[in-house]
Amino acid sequence: MKKIFVTVGNDYHSFHRLIEKIDNIASKIDAEFVIQYGYSDYIPKNIKQSHKFLDREEYNKKFGEADLIISHSGIGTMIDTIQKKKKMLLVPKQYKYGEHFNDHQSEIAEEVKGKYENIKVIYEVDGLENEINRFLSEKVDYPEPPDIKSLKLVKDIKSFIDNENQK
């Protein structure tokens, strides 16, 4: 059985929209879900392995066992995904839903979109069930992960931050 690890990081903003959607579709997808829901104001009801937070060791274990990662647009999670050769559905938190203080996650997602075969970006959760099924069935060729400092993603983020600081 496929394993799906859902993580929303440790930011204090709720990601109710994603957590509730995952909880609603978990029984429709032939996979084992593990969810770290953080400060979300929706607590999963249908997922046996749901955790507010995980310590680093448990997080790494769940991440390592997963066939698919579903995550907010967290930099650390994206870097782990690339280095550990995982598939990821990236769902950025959005300002318009009150999920973050601005749209930096969407901006980061736009920089990543289409550049990594193993990372797909989804902005709205309505089509999430279809995307999960499609992405789980796709074969992805993973190149050898580069040294963290040479990752284009890291360079893109550094450039983005440098540009923001100059404004």
pLDDT for residue 82 is more than 90:
no
pTM for this prediction: 0.83
pLDDT for residue 152 is more than 70:
no
CB 63 within 8 A of CB 5: yes
| Residue 98 structural domain | 2-165
Q: CA-CA distances (angstroms) from residue 97 to 18, 106, 108, 149?
A: 11, 12, 17, 33
Which CATH number belongs to the domain containing residue 41 in this structure?
3.40.50.2000
Structure confidence by residue, pLDDT tens digits, 3-61: 999 999 888 888 899 999 999 999 999 999 999 999 998 999 999 999 999 999 999 99
Q: Distance between CA 103 and CA 101 in Å, rounded? A: 7
Number of domains in the chain: 1
